[in-house]
Amino acid sequence: MTANYAAKPESSRGRRFQESAPLYRSEFQRDRDRIIHSKAFRRLEYKTQVFVNHEGDLYRTRLTHSLEVAQVACAVARNMGLNEDLTEAIALAHDLGHTPFGHAGQDALNACMKLFGGFEHNLQSLRVVDQLETSYADFDGLNLTFETREGILKHCSVKNAAALGEIGERFINKTQPSLEAQLANLADEIAYNNHDMDDGVRSGLISIKQLCEVPLFATVYTEVIQRYPQLEERRLMHEIVRRLIGKMVIDLTETSTAMLQQAGVNSIEQVRQHTSPLIRYSPELLAQKNELKSFLYQNLYMHPTVYRMTWKAQKIISTLFAIYMQDIKLLPAKYQNFIKTKPDDETYKARVIADYIAGMTDRYAMKEYGQFHDLSRLH
């Protein structure tokens, strides 16, 4: 049974295109199912989290990351009486618009699009579910509910929000989305902080000894090593990560529940009127989490090995963009035809090219780059 402040599928603000109600499943379950069956979701299997897919079979990809976000988010939703189906749908869809090569690809594409409105992966994820998926007979996109769409759009500039209508109003009015949307946002952080750390140790780029410089990690490490003094590194790391996730989930549940009680919130409408999020960590854990995040940035994301791949990724993305802008005949026919509908609109042309590049998997982008340049020269 969901709490009064949870999102209710029967009270949804609806879909962009009217449809008959689903049988034997809720509106939010229908959203989740459409997301899982989308082409964009399948492509996440071959998109980078931190390590490019070909670097190892056991590293996280955008797909496994999205599944892990959903698992964490649903655990907290269940604890708090929130709508698990909506929470899961948002978590599974949050990275649908992500470029190949992770944040390096996003930064490169944003730089390419600087004169044409920029590129932001949350906005692109909304664009995917609203327009770019083309599987349904009656509409473009997935025609998701308002509640799932608002959760996908985690961040947005006021300028972009003004062009989005109802879905962008909260960025202008400084109000909040549903608790499920707030939760999915923080579950994303929990998943990538802990699992990027795990992949970093697996790769050998960071060590458990280094991580013990971070107080949050050191505390849990001490707990585990005292109980299992002879544990091998892989089991040790797994035990630490699962306890860290558990610690964050408990803190998020208890802190957020107390915040809701203190605020006297009793409906989703009251949730939306708050000027700050009601799903949050305790101040103590927030500070500890930020220390871990800072450590990962300095020691993993900026590690020379990762940075070298970041440089290559940015080179691939920027080169492909420049080539397609110079000659659209190098694009697939579908994208050429889109551009030909507005032949004198350079901004539209750039956006279509950005859509094409953002939809690529890592390996497809490298293959496409290889059609024009020798990949072996990217050292």
> Locate tokens 């990027």: which residue?
196
Q: Which two tokens stand for residue 194?
A: 């802990």
> Locate tokens 């409105």: which residue?
117
Residues 98 and 129: their CA atoms lie apart, in Å, by 13
Q: What is the pLDDT of residue 80?
A: 97
* Residue 57, pLDDT above cutoff 60: no
Q: What is the pLDDT of residue 159?
A: 86
pLDDT band at 114 (very low <50, low <70, confident <90, very high): very high
Is there a contact between 112 and 321 (Cβ–Cβ < 8 Å)? yes
- How many Å from the N-terminal Cα to the C-terminal Cα in the chain? 56
Mean per-residue pLDDT over the chain, rounded = 93
Q: What is the pLDDT of residue 51?
A: 56
Is there a contact between 97 and 123 (Cβ–Cβ < 8 Å)? yes
**What dihedral do alpha carbons 156, 98, 90, 216 form, nearest 10°?**
-90
Beta partners for 48? 61
The CATH number of the structural domain formed by 23-304 is 1.10.3210.10
Is there a contact between 300 and 204 (Cβ–Cβ < 8 Å)? no
Q: Which two tokens stand for residue 278?
A: 């009601």
- 164-to-126, 160, 341 alpha-carbon distances in Å: 10, 7, 22
Domains of the chain by residue range? 23-304, 307-377
Residue-wise pLDDT for 255-276, tens only, equals 999 999 999 999 999 999 998 9
Please give the backbone phi and psi of residue 182, each rounded to the nearest 5 degrees, phi first. -60, -40
* Residue 243, pLDDT above cutoff 70: yes
Sign of the dihedral through C-alpha 46, 359, 299, 226: negative
3-class DSSP assignment, residue 195: helix
> Locate tokens 């080169």: which residue?
319
**What dihedral do alpha carbons 151, 156, 158, 161 form, nearest 10°?**
-50
* Residue 48, pLDDT above cutoff 80: no
3-class DSSP assignment, residue 172: helix
Residues 206 and 199: their CA atoms lie apart, in Å, by 9
**What dihedral do alpha carbons 46, 48, 50, 51 form, nearest 10°?**
50
**What dihedral do alpha carbons 77, 43, 165, 23 form, nearest 10°?**
-60
Please give the backbone phi and psi of residue 48, each rounded to the nearest 5 degrees, phi first. -65, 140
Q: What is the pLDDT of residue 217?
A: 97
Beta partners for 15? 145
Residue-wise pLDDT for 341-366, tens only, equals 999 999 999 999 999 999 999 999 99
H helix runs in 37-131, sequence order = 39-43, 62-80, 84-93, 102-112, 121-127
* Among the listed residues 271, 330, 296, 340, the one whose alpha carbon sits nearest the alpha carbon of residue 103: 296
Give this prediction's pTM. 0.94
